[in-house]
Amino acid sequence: MPQQTVLIIGGSRGIGAAAASLFYENGYQVGITYKSSKEQADILKKNHPGMEAFFCDVECESSVDAAVEQMTSTFGKIDVLINNAGIALIKLFTETTAAEWKRVFQTNVTGTYYACKAVLPQMIRRQSGRIINVSSMWGQTGASCEVAYSASKAAVIGLTKALAKEVGLSGITVNCVAPGVIDTDMNAELTEEDRMALCEETPLARIGSPHEVAGVMLFLAGEHASFLTGQVIAPNGGIVI
């Protein structure tokens, strides 16, 4: 069987970097994209010979298209697409500006649309492929002071479910990972008090690791998930059921 390839949009830090390392360790040819984290991307490449990194601004369709073209040119194909790029916004809804709202959706939703649109033609031609989108537990339940983020991540879930129905006949699965509170840069601004409170709310009484989310992604990309599509898998320690 030809070596499988994975393109991780937003793969230089946090969950994306953990996924890049885990897929690499499991024999995948790995390409990651970065926007402002070139240094982290270069370190990942250095530590994983053969891994490639491509610049990609997910707010710009031509930039996404270029990254997909570079990945395809380098490895010949893209078997697995992981849409991991995303931004958060913690702010009262009434103080959220139209520009902030637009940027959150442009990054979290439209960026996912751009990547899926760019990769799907080759997957449809081969009649196979895996797409894994990243939402959040707040996309499932909503979070106070994170309306824009919650709404955008709920949209990713809707995109996943609808696209899974559309491309299923082409042998392509589309699933969604909705992490809970994970120890990443996005949550680094949480106070120790907030972290303790979230741990207390979580049945497993702790915050998750990027590697644990990456493990769910690896499963969704593998043969044991071949009959799984349109689903939301939530590594969240039980905080949302």
Catalytic residues: 149
Percentages (nearest 5) of helix, strand, coil residues in the chain: 50, 15, 30
From first CA to last CA, the distance across the chain in angstroms is 38
Distance CA 178, CA 155 (A): 12
Q: Which two tokens stand for residue 195?
A: 């972290």
Let me know the angle formed at the C-alpha of 174 by 229 and 32, rounded to the nearest 5 degrees. Answer: 140
Q: Are 211 and 218 in contact (CB under 8 A)?
A: no
Residue 57: C-alpha distances to residues 7, 62, 84, 134 (Å): 14, 9, 12, 17
The b/e string for 140-170 (b: 16+ C-beta within 10 A; e otherwise) is: beeeeebbbbbbbbbbbbebbbebbeebeee
